[in-house]
Each structure stands twice: as structure tokens, then as C-alpha cells.
Amino acid sequence: MTILKLRNLVKIFGTDHTAIKAVDDISLDLKKGEIILISGPSGSGKTTLLSMIGCLLSPTSGDIIIDKENITKYPQKKLWKIRLNRIGFIFQQFNLLQSLTARENVQIPLQLTRNKKNYIKKKAEELLRELGLEKRISHLPKELSGGEKQRVSIARALINKPDIILADEPTANLDSKSGHIVIEMTKKLVKKHGCAMIMVTHDHRIEDIADRILFMEDGKIWTN
């Protein structure tokens, strides 16, 4: 089942002689349960592409279709709900709130819904246990290693049962051992929870977890 379709997606920054085409006529399908890895040099358009899929940036032209729903022309108030309910984000810098425990950080997206507090707490703790953090549930980010922080951010990305996980350089701040452990855990959970994942990275050590590897340069994308 295809969960995401990109059709002739273009993003241009600037105008006239200063215009830069960051994403250049990209079409791509992502199937449920599939993991796509996109590699390429800095400035190739990878993060811009993720930002458009994640409803953080509007395309100049083209279509983004999530589960038959064309979101390209949606107003911001509707895109907010798409981001909350259908997309999970994993960031390079973890983006954890330093004053909150691991569980409290994971709970944040679900607290924006109408679920009851006990359900939210239970779901957060279940995901942290799945990621081997049962002894770190009440720890603050400053008490966690880099790999543990990234596992907390993975749990946060999954808690709303999104259709799509978007990961931007998720191993950039991790050593090779921690990075591979984190990515293997992510792959297992993506497959278990039936979502799909697009990951952009320079880290060739984790290519073995992908179902497909694509290369991006000068805004264009092709099979590596």
C-alpha cells in the first residue's frame, strides 16, 4: 500500500536572477512499512524535501499526497493536524526539553490530543521499554547518553502512531556503535508499527537498514 506520493515537487527560493531551485521536479512513492534512505552532499536539497513532506515548508509547485489526501493546498490550521497525527519527526539534535523527564518528553505530542492522562503515560512508558529505556523513564536529558536521547526522540516520534517517520541525520551526533543500535531499533519499530520512514543522512554505515537507497544532488533525486 502506497502511503506517500510526491508528484513533480519543486521548491524555489528567491526570485529572478537570485532564484535557487532547491528541489527540482521530484516524484516519489513510499509504501507502508518501507524505509527509504536519501544520501547526498550538503546543500543538495535533502532537508528542504523533508520539510515539505513534513508540512513545515510549502512547495512552489507539485503535489504531496498522504494516503490519498492531497495536502499541498491545505491552510496552516489543517497542516498542523497533519503534522500531529500523521507525521513523526526524528532530529539530529534530539530536540528534547531539558526540564522534562524522558517519559514527559515522549508524552508531548499525545498531550495535544484528547486522550486521557493515564493512557498517555502508559503509551509513553511502553515505547520507552521497547527501546530499552525502562530504567531511564524518569531521567532528565542531561542524565542520558547521546544514544539514549535519540531513543527518547524516536519514542516521541512514534507515540501518535504516525503514517510516516521523517529522520534528518539521526546518527550525526552518535558514535558508530550507538548509531547502529539506534537505527536497528528504529527499523524494528517502524516495521512493527506499520508506518514508513524517510531518512536523510551522510552516514553510509547505516545503509543496510534501508529497503531503498536514493541519491540527491542539485535538487534532483535518483537511485544510487
Q: Is the pTM of this model over 0.85?
A: yes
Tens of pLDDT along 68-87?
899 998 988 889 889 988 99
Average pLDDT over residues 32-38: 93
Task: From 56, 61, 55, 54, select the one nearest 23 (Cα to Cα).
Answer: 61
Q: What is the pLDDT of residue 224?
A: 58
Does residue 203 have a pLDDT over 90? Answer: no
Average pLDDT over residues 46-75: 93
Higher-confidence residue of 146 and 176: namely 146
Average pLDDT over residues 195-211: 87
Alpha carbon distances (Å) from 107 to 118, 119, 167, 193, 200:
11, 10, 19, 17, 25
CATH number of the structural domain spanning residue 112: 3.40.50.300
Contact 4, 196 (CB under 8 A): yes
Domain around 176: 2-223
Tens of pLDDT along 179-202?
888 888 888 888 888 899 999 988
Q: How many domains does the chain have?
A: 1
Task: From 5, 69, 53, select the one nearest 31 (Cα to Cα).
Answer: 5
Split at pLDDT 50, 70, 90, the class of 206 is confident
Tens of pLDDT along 116-159?
889 999 999 999 999 999 999 999 999 999 999 999 999 999 99
Length of the chain: 224
